[in-house]
Each structure stands twice: as structure tokens, then as C-alpha cells.
Structure 1
């Protein structure tokens, strides 16, 4: 099914390219217009001009393995580069670790606007200058036809209120969707706000108003917040949509990246958010040290006691369903021990109860991050399938306590889970 859909998209794109070429404008027009050609693209290059097309090496054929292709795009001075993907089909991975396309603002040391793989086309990407760098990397095993994208020049404010994003380094400030508050945000935009505080400070961020197209998995329009200065799923704090403002966020260090993306269909009111810098809480005298250590000690004791208890699952799927914030089935694809807890990534088979669990999507693959508070209870092993029920932390990660209900997942469980999905709690 996926192959048929991709083939259909590919044939439609090639038909468009051939039809464009067949229009055969006059010699002067041919020199002025840059159209994609129905032939293979080369690996990387230096491109200048008001618009043009780039594509993976050998497109529309399968891209080669073990390659690294870099395109440096320059549009006229005083303009900004806008990049729109027309087709993308790269090996799919939740974290885009194997085959991927990176897009940067500028040619050297620029902010990364995004890393992409799978088959889900991102919205338009806007550089903050007249330069953009695009890089595609593939590993030894390839899977897909690659990508085609169009670049074009735009006035920084030619897109009207659609132009958004940038670097925010004042002690406090606001950011908002294009057109706010007069009308809905436009379709097909990507905005990235890079918030940078001094080295010894943190960033507090909260949303005053929030209304972004609702979807159970936030696949279409969404806001994503990352620790650090680039789009990196391993550092993602959360992904948000709908009409409920996300919980306030505090950065781990002195940088946050807020990304807003809208696709080419439905839109909504949008949002306005505010940020401010604050110093790290570092004890400098004896008195504060005593007050900060005291509650830490008291909160640690119950956790230690919790993890020393005998680990035994209690209840059934039915008795634990309503008391859990989320219920999913999935395969554990990564595990990482931190202190006494286990941090895991679960590739989702099905979602029965979502709550505020942050679910990320790469192509058709969905995943979620969970924390098993006591790493041995319940015991979660990489490569195995589970039914997982638990609570959700403020950052959208699933929290699994010894009292949480987990069990090995078998197909016979689906029937009862489907019944519970329709249950009124």
C-alpha cells in the first residue's frame, strides 16, 4: 500500500516535470525560467538565482548508499531562501539516524532548520538570510527514491505576516504565529525561534493563548520545543497541538528552540507565547544548602523504598485501564539506564488511550518515550512487545511506576483492548 502510494506520487511529479518541459517557451524565456528537468540530479552543487530545484543523486531512481551530498543555495542579496519539498522518500527511522536530509540557514555554522526522513513532507522552510545549505547523507543500506525540493527567493516581509522565527536573546519577550491575533495562521509555513540566554541562566517559557489544528498525534500542524539550538528528537521536550496551552517549560541549559509548522490544509487561530531568563539556582551559602538538601532527602526515601519492594503485577487490563493516563501497545526499540531508572523509546503498535503522552511521528512510524522509575520493576526489555499503561509527566514522557500495569503483548489482547477503548471511564 505504501509502495503504491509512493509510486503514484512519483509518477505524478514526473508527469508535472515533463509537462512543464513540454511547454517549450521561447529562447529568452528559457533562460529566465528555471524548471526541474525530467532527468537524474547530481550529488550536491552550488546554486544561485531567484529559484530552482534540487534533488537526490539519481532521482527518480533509488539514491546510492554511503553518500554525502551538499547543496549551497544563494538567492539575490536582500532576499531570504524558501525551500519547499515536492517529494521525499528516505529510509524511515524515528530519529532519522540512517538516511536523512539536513537543512541549514546560511552556508557555514548556521542554525539547523530541520532533519527529515521517511515520506512525510515538511512545510516550507525559511532561512534568515539569502543563503541556505542542504545536505543529504545515506548509510550502507538505502531504501527509497530520495527527494525533490524547490528553492525560491522572497522578500523578508514579502510573505506578509507569514514571515516568522529568528533569534531571541533579550531578557524577556514574546513570539507568535503569523497573522496573530487578527486572523488564522497561514498554511504551509515553518517558524523556528531560537531563544538564547547568557551561559549562567535558564529560560522559562509559557503560552498565553494556544489553538493549533487538533490531531491525536499532532501530525499536521504542531509546536515542538527542543532543549538546545537545533531540531533534534533526542532533545525534544514536547510536541503540541489542539486548543489547550502546553504546560510551562524550563530549559535544561541556556538555549531553547521553538518550532511551529503548518501543513497545506486546515489552519486555526494560532498562539502567543512568552519567555524570560532566570538565573540557575545554585547554593552559595550554608543556609540555602541546608534548605535545598532537606526536601531532596525526604523525596528520595520513598523512591528508594518503592524500588526495594517486591515487584509483582496486580490487577488486570480492565481494572487498570481507567486509572492510567495512557494505554499503548508497542515494541521497545531503545533502552538507556540513568541512575536507578530506565529510559526507553517505544515504537507504537496501537494507541488505546493517549492522555498527554507526547507521540512523535517519522513517516508512518510513531513512537513515545517512557521512564521506568525503578529500572527492574516492571522489567522492560529491548526488542519485546508490551501493553504499557502509566501516567504522563509534564514533558509528555510516560512514567511507569511499580504499580503501573504492563504485560507482554499478544495479538489475542487486541480484542479486549478495543473493547476498553470504547469504555466510559
Structure 2
């Protein structure tokens, strides 16, 4: 929209951007001007975003406790410190009730996206005090509404707590273990831990597997330890190895792997039946 001249009557219509950025350009030429210029007001509206390394916080639907808007999609990505998990308490939720929550719904995923991360919760209708926890240190929350019938929405509190697993590591060296490793302890029966190891550009990563003890299954499909060259959840990653059972190399010799670039990822998955 381009404006010039004087507005002495009704103001121009409200302008709404289609994304999270707006550019306003004011131009004048060399002619002497005695006009007073302009004044405008703006406000940012929307929902979702990234939340990194905040130990506690609040997430709610737009306009809560009033009715949420029609036809919206909000995505929140919560990232805790490595070794922590995300606990979410949905204190109040009031969303249009439909069969299988087809239209309006709140979904919670254990991971950094809503495509292939494990689904923890899909909720509509009215409820209170629903608690879910991520398997690792990442959680994605997705709120969707359609073109009709809105309710009050939801209000939730998240908190990061120790005892989680997974995370992103930028250090030159380190050690990662499954939750509760050592001393005869077991990790949780239902576990999905993703460790992302990052090095400087043009560097490679060397990984040594010293020990593993994971329930056996056909093709290691139920529970496994997997190592990927690249991020495991991206299409161009390469599966380097997938283990279940116990480390049975001669004299328990360690297994070594090397990335082709600066990214290596490790995933520990358990189907909830064994640990």
C-alpha cells in the first residue's frame, strides 16, 4: 500500500501482514516541505515459536481465556538442556469436540517437529490437569483450529527436569549414556532419546561405542541403538549401524564410527515393552 496527501476523514484500513515481518518505507524529495509527516501504531499478533533453555514457562492459545481465532496453526518448540526432559501440565483445555479430534485439536510430540516425532497427546473437548513428559530434551506443541466453532482454548505450564535424555552437543569431546546407566539400573521401558553431535565445519566426528545391553527383537525393530551420519530425522542421513542385544565383540572390544561431515546422531529407542 502507498499513501500520500492528507487524511482528514476516516483513516486507511488496517494492514495485516501474511508473515512475521513488515517493511515501512518513508520517502521525501528535495522540495521544501511543511507537512507534519505521519504517525502509525503497530502490534504483533500470533502464536508459537522456539523456547530454549527456559526452566519454566507458560503456553496458551491466542486470546486465552477468551475464544481462540478461526483457522490458525501454532507450533511451539521447547528445547531443554541436554540430560533434561520437558514436563507439560495442561491446566485447562476447552477445544471443539469432534470424532478423533479431526478439526480443532492440541497435539504434543516428544521431539523437535510434528512430522515424525512420537505423539504423546492429541486432545480436544474440555478437561483439566493433563500431564505429559517428553522422552528426551525436546518437545513440540501444535494447536490447530478450523474455519468454524471455537472455544476458550488451553493454558499450560512447562518445566524442565533432570532425568531426561538426548540433546545437542557442540563440545569437542564428551560421553553420552542411556538414562540411569550403570549400577544395574534400567532406562524407562518407553524411551526415545536422540543425541545430536556437532563439530566445527570441515571437521569429522569419531564415536566409540563401549557398551550396550538392549532387548533383542527381529531386525532390532522394537528396541535399538542406532547411529547415523547426519541428523537421523532428515532424509539425507545415512544409517551407519543399528544394535540390539549385548555387545559381544571379542574381549568386549569397542566399536568405532566416523562421520563424513560435522554431524553425527545417536538414537536410543524402546517400544515400551522391555528395557
Identify which of structures 1 and 2 has the higher relative contact order when contacts are C-alpha pairs closer than 8 Å and 6+ apart: 2
User: Which structure's residues are more often helix, by fraction?
Assistant: 1
* TM-score calculated relative to the size of structure 2: 0.47
